[in-house]
Structure 1
Amino acid sequence: MMGTFWFLLIIGIRPILSLTEADLKRSLLSSAVYDPSVRPRINASHAVHVQLDVQVVYIIGLTERDSSFAQACNIFVSWRDEYLTWNTSDYGDLDSFVVQPSVVWTPDVSVYGRMEINQRIELGQVRVNSDGMVNTKFLGILATHCAMDSEFFPFDYQLCTFIIGSEIYFTSEVAMEIKSLRQLESCKNNPNWNLVHVRKNPKPPFWQVQYCFQRRSLYLAVLYMVPTFMHAVLILISYIVPSEAGEKISFGVSLFLSFMVFLLQLNGDLPEMSTAVPALEIFFMLHMTSGVVSLVVSAISAYITHNNSQQTVSVNKVKDVSTAATNEKRRFPNVRQRFRDTSFLNRAGFVVSLSLILAANFIMFNAKLKSSGCTQ
């Protein structure tokens, strides 16, 4: 008899245990007692306080051409639902259950500035606790608009901002607050950008999240700046080549063509915007201009040398040295003769090319100094 009693007792308990959560959901979420479209406040004048915990997982990158910023992040959302409370002892000490977000009321957490039509983020499954606290989260990729400033490229800092708030409710109805803002160690693994800091800034009725990025410039410096320095040295050396040598012009043309190859490569990395000219582009164009000056001087010098060789040398009477020196002191130098002198042209071209190269280096040094952080 005792064995039959315990057998029947166990058989009777199992259906009770399996139906406890189902009974709880039916009693709380029945359409007769709960409306998911109504704010979960017994007193309608009270606001629903929604707390957000933003966790930055990984920085995918910034795209200058689209002015966009993509990140993998977690947004944990919690609030209190006054209609979803129960006594745990009445339901076998069940203190929480999980339902779909469409079954209960959820706040419309919207991220303004998303690169999508729908600004509202899709929340995952909802966990309801016995005290009425409801928790859910957003896990995924968040792509938002970011106004890029390329003035100090490639030593630039970028400040990307997006706003979190509610599209439907007023602050008197739903009050959102970013409780915490964290960044994981994986954020530092981006090869092109270094996340300097993430800050929250309340802008009632919204919250503003600011990301400060520093570009890792090692790749661009090695790819463009170092070869450009080498080209600058070759441009200055080209002035040493005698004007009579026909290879001087071909040497300058080869340098100019190599600049064009770098320009095509640079076009794929430079941001396409007209608000500011990147410092790297100015640096590159000044070096390219110095090469053009070298090529023009070489062509003019070759032309002058060729014409001088075609002219016949006429024998003039020997002038008195003292008289010639006196006349030379009295008159100004002949500018035309100066420009017909190839050595003078080479010296002038060398000074102009060197000045352009120094100006280009000064611009990059100035960009490195001025780009010291994010500005609003």
Structure 2
Amino acid sequence: MTEEPADKSSKGLGGLSPALQWVLLVAISAGIAASLIWLRAPAPLMLGPLIAGIIVASNGGKPRMPLSAFVFAQGVVGCMIARMVPLSIVGDILAHWQLFTVGVLAVIGASTLLGWLMTRLQMLPGTTALWGISPGAASVMTIMSESYGADVRLVAFMQYLRVVMVAGVAALVAKMFGVTAPHGGDAIAWFPDANWLSFGETLVVAVVGPLIARVLRIPAGAMLVPLVICIVLAHVGLMTVELPPWALAVSFAFIGWNIGLRFTRPLLLYVARMLPRAIACAAVLIALCGVVAWLMVVTIGVDPLTAYLATSPGGVDSIAIIAASTNCDVSFVMAMQTVRLLAVLFLAPVLTKFIAERVSYPNDRHP
């Protein structure tokens, strides 16, 4: 395997103490998020920390992001979605199952075809494109790719590069359609009066939900299990989801940092030669999903922003946060994203393995 460049922790921000690195990361995140709020950009509380994470990590910083914090943040986002999505989401899926089936299979089919074509043309080493382009389930695709000879580092880079690009493009599309953040920077009541009992119940679900998902080994369950629990309990009147802005801001920051801090300088240097092709690959997939969204607009009259967010390839938590800051049909977006996420978890590994076994190359691990 090609050696990854050594991480010189003594250079750049790596020479600072972990505490100072975190202070710097939080300060940069706050500054960028405040700027995005002032610009009334969608999802500023996630995109700000995400950009800050890339800046810090690519300059040698290595703040350790606890996995438990990220899992908890996913649980909070699941609760947030439940607050916006009614129990009727199941009825919506069943009532429009043809639409969801076509939309989901179109996105998966487009990604599989693109990965196969790039693999056949050897635009990226071996089967890297095939594993790296799968729309969603980034951790699953990354782990499985190593078993089939692909370079896991490049696959991981492609997966999380796409997540970043999808989040950025989705925010830009929301801006293009005249959608802005619902509050200006000086209008957000960060510490409003809250029902602390309801808030405590919500936090319990955000913690217990991911634990249940882990025990039952439910893929992507850290967000999906709290979402289902909150929808059901709220529907029968046993709880009210309470999430003050400051709690959401912390959770959004955890998610943004988890993505941004993966883009370290050693990884960026390692894939520099492949970067244009990786960006082009992700851009083509995003464009193909945009075509699927356009077909939904012209055939069944879904509003453009809702259609685009519903078909965006991957980063379901990022899309949920962006959708929450717009006036799109959040229920439709999350229903489509959830169905596709489940489909990807079951179908994409099978399709990817099937194709990879037939187009593999002996130099998969050598960019």
TM-score category (smaller protein): under 0.3
Kindly name which structure, 1 or 2, has the bigger radius of gyration based on alpha carbons: 1
TM-score when normalising by structure 2: 0.19
Richer in strand (by share): 1
TM-score when normalising by structure 1: 0.19
